[in-house]
Amino acid sequence: MSILYEPLFLMQLQLVVTSAMFGIIWLVQLVLYPAFAFVDEHRWIALHKLHTDRITWLVGPLMCGELAVSMAIALVHPATLSGIGLLLTLGLWGLTFFRSVPLHLRLSLSRDAGNRLVLVEDLVRHNLWRSALWTARLGIAVMMIRDSSLA
């Protein structure tokens, strides 16, 4: 049997990927997004483009990996925690693509400083939900490994 079908290996892989996203999302929540409010309007468009271009290359593969691992664990090791982990991952994808991405698109087009500040505040508030869900995902990943070592 391939190591890719071993539940413990998949759980460890999940822990690595989810830990990376946990660190990134809290850095974004506590440092990057709040700093957007302090960027002057002449540099805003270039900074936001730089941010979205680079963050996409970082989080895109991690989010895809997390989704793939969550689905694999749910198939190979169906249990309550793996189901919750998959649901959280799907929820994060939904929040990301139906709320965060549209907010970033609106920010990329924003030329008015006052409007931009409102959008940044909305982004920070909304991203707190994503931060909380990734924190929960990390907790689930840790519990899954703990529970597998008890079995």
Quote the domain boundaries for residue 11: 3-150
Residue 115: half-sphere exposure toward Cβ, Cα within 13 Å: 9
The number of helix segments (H) and strand segments (E) in the chain equals 6, 0
Nearest to 55 by CA among 90, 94, 106, 20: 20
User: Residue 14: what pLDDT?
Assistant: 97
Mean pLDDT, each 10-residue run in order, the chain (151 residues): 77 97 98 94 92 97 97 92 96 97 94 90 97 98 88 58
Number of domains in the chain: 1
Q: How far apart are CA 105 and CA 124, in angstroms?
A: 15
Q: How far apart are CA 83 and CA 87, in angstroms?
A: 6
Question: Are 77 and 5 in contact, with CB atoms under 8 Å apart?
Answer: no
Q: How far apart are CA 34 and CA 107, in angstroms?
A: 14
User: Residue 127: what pLDDT?
Assistant: 98
User: Residue 3: what pLDDT?
Assistant: 66
DSSP per-residue string spanning 47-114: HHHHHHHHHHHHHHHHHHHHHHHHHHHHHHS--HHHHHHHHHHHHHHHHIIIIIHHHHHHHHH---HH
User: Residue 151: what pLDDT?
Assistant: 58
User: Residue 77: what pLDDT?
Assistant: 87
